[in-house]
A = this chain, B = another copy of it.
Amino acid sequence: MAITGVLRPGHAQIRVLDLEEGVKFYRDVLGLVDMGRDSQGRHYFKAWDERDHHSVLIRQADKAGIDLFGFKVDSEETLNKFEKDLQAYGVTTKRIPAGEMINTGERVQFTLNNGHTIELYADKKDVGNCQGYSHPKPWTPEAEHGIAPVRMDHALLAGGDLDQALDIFVNVLGFYLVEEVVAPDGMKVGIWLSCSNKVHDIAFLRHTEDAKLHHVSFYLDTWEKVLRAADIMSMNEVPVDIGPTRHGITRGATIYAWDRSGNRFETFAGGYISYPDHKTLTWPLEHLPEGLDYAQRKLHETFLTVFS
């Protein structure tokens, strides 16, 4: 198996119904670091322990949801290669000029059959994780402002054509399939894909509607911080969907909740280390309840219905 040149999820651009309310939420409740606004009105954030300039953008719109999900690749050569490979696969790609997104180089953008826009880029300014590069502290005050995840970790996106998404991510972009939910007839219903040692860098659900966001996910270091996140959600009257609980799928200890505009997000900890030579773990559909909520073994109805 060839190893991919995709490094990690680099940014998610999320639509909110009210920008100022959104800034307050992402900065003070979720606890991301405020990285400012661009001339288009997009507001930028990073998680405290991330080094690149931003990982979340929000923009005001009439409808909540996700505009795009971007991955950083390891070099311009890799970016060019993926561009060609995507075109060869039959996907239309678009080059977005450097600087269109602040502190970010050229991006290669394409849209999956399931309606989701994905983009790749090789360059984003390293601004450091709230401290220098010499004898750093293990954490800084930013790590305790709001929920304060260490990183934007992955997204779970929903839409009709799961098979193309799987094919492109595995066969063009070099991801591997870590876990999957499979219906009795063999049809894949959900897929968890990695380009790293994380159990998921992106995941997809098969869904009747395209371009739906299930959630963008943020990583916390410990289960105790998941409880702290739950407390902060409650103190701020953030509606919680599921959790705290453990996902059977990925083992992550999780909360699903909704931002002020109805975009579901996840704060989670744990999971396990994953490698491309690992066999895919399969969840027959009848085991989805414990795959979703291992404690309660319950398929919360919102899981498959309430998307933005």
A140 to B273, CA, bound (A): 16
**Is the CB–CB distance between A134 and B282 below 8 Å?**
yes
**Chain B binder among A18-26, A35-43, A203-211, A244-252:** A244-252
The residue from B222, B243, B291 contacting A295, defined by CB atoms under 8 A apart: B243
Is A294's beta carbon under 8 Å from chain B? yes
**Chain B binder among A86-94, A111-119, A234-242:** A234-242
Is A55's beta carbon under 8 Å from chain B? no
Nearest B residue to A251, CB-CB: B138
Residues of chain A in range 1-21 having any CB-CB distance to chain B below 8 Å:
1-5, 7-8
**Chain B binder among A56-64, A100-108, A223-231:** A223-231
Is A75's beta carbon under 8 Å from chain B? yes
**Is the CB–CB distance between A295 and B234 below 8 Å?**
yes
Nearest B residue to A141, CB-CB: B144
**Is the CB–CB distance between B3 and A4 below 8 Å?**
yes
Residues of chain A in range 44-76 having any CB-CB distance to chain B below 8 Å:
49, 51, 72, 74-75
Is A196's beta carbon under 8 Å from chain B? yes
List the B side residues contacting A279 at CB < 8 Å: 51, 126, 133
A223 to B224, CA, bound (A): 7
List the B side residues contacting A198 at CB < 8 Å: 197, 273
Is A253's beta carbon under 8 Å from chain B? yes
**Is the CB–CB distance between B224 and A297 below 8 Å?**
no
Is A120's beta carbon under 8 Å from chain B? no
A9 to B75, CA, bound (A): 26
**Is the CB–CB distance between B134 and A284 below 8 Å?**
yes
The residue from B133, B136, B222, B284 contacting A135, defined by CB atoms under 8 A apart: B284
- Number of A residues with CB within 8 Å of any CB on chain B: 66
List the B side residues contacting A233 at CB < 8 Å: 295
Given that A230-B245, A245-B230 are contacting pairs, would A270 and B133 also be in contact in the complex, using a CB cutoff of 8 Å? Answer: no
Is A200's beta carbon under 8 Å from chain B? no
The residue from B8, B137, B276 contacting A7, defined by CB atoms under 8 A apart: B276
Nearest B residue to A280, CB-CB: B133
**Is the CB–CB distance between B294 and A231 below 8 Å?**
yes
Given that A234-B294, A243-B295, A270-B221 are contacting pairs, would A75 and B139 also be in contact in the complex, using a CB cutoff of 8 Å? Answer: no
Given that A74-B3, A270-B221, A278-B51 are contacting pairs, would A294 and B134 also be in contact in the complex, using a CB cutoff of 8 Å? Answer: no
Is A277's beta carbon under 8 Å from chain B? yes
A297 to B241, CA, bound (A): 11
Chain A 247-290, CB-CB to B under 8 Å as 1, else 0, gives: 01001010100000000000000101101111111111001001
Is A173's beta carbon under 8 Å from chain B? no
Is A296's beta carbon under 8 Å from chain B? yes
List the B side residues contacting A79 at CB < 8 Å: none
Nearest B residue to A7, CB-CB: B275
Shortest 8 CB-CB contacts between residues of A and residues of B: A230-B295, A135-B287, A197-B197, A138-B251, A240-B296, A224-B224, A3-B3, A234-B294
